[in-house]
Amino acid sequence: MKRWTNWVLLLLVAVLAVVPLVLVKDSEFAGADGAAEEAITEMAPDYEPWFQPLLEPPGGETESLLFALQAALGAGVIGYAIGVYRGRLQNGKE
């Protein structure tokens, strides 16, 4: 029973990730940086940024990939820390 539950949950997560991409046509899934840049340009058209990026990714896909890798690495570190803490608590009780 538990084995099927995991597969069903994994399938539901995949469906939740794919459905918006299929149903919403001609949409741009831009990040907050682009929206902030547009808002600043509207409020102050002559604004000059203080800094330029040291390394500009070749495309939006690369930027998204790097962001996803950063999120995955952070989630892995947090999950590892929680697992170590839980393991220490269980070993202390035995």
In this prediction, residues 14-34 reach a mean pLDDT of 74
Higher pLDDT, 94 or 90: 90
Residue 80: inside a domain: yes
Is 91 domain-assigned?
yes
| DSSP conformation class of 59 | S
First to last CA, the chain: 29
Asked if residue 71 is part of any domain, the answer here is yes
Predicted structure pTM score: 0.47
Domain count of the chain?
1
Are 62 and 53 a contacting pair, CB within 8 Å? no
Q: Is residue 20 part of a domain?
A: no
Could you tell me if 57 and 63 are in contact, meaning their C-beta atoms sit under 8 angstroms apart? yes
Give domain status of residue 69, yes or no. Answer: yes
CA distance linking residue 65 with residue 73, whole number of Å = 12
Q: What is the pLDDT of residues 46-88, one digit of tens each?
A: 988 888 878 776 776 777 778 888 999 999 999 999 999 999 9
Instruction: Answer whether residue 8 shows pLDDT above 70.
Output: yes
State the average pLDDT for the chain. 83
**Domain containing residue 65:** 59-94
> What span, in angstroms and rounded, lies between the C-alpha atoms of 76 and 82?
10
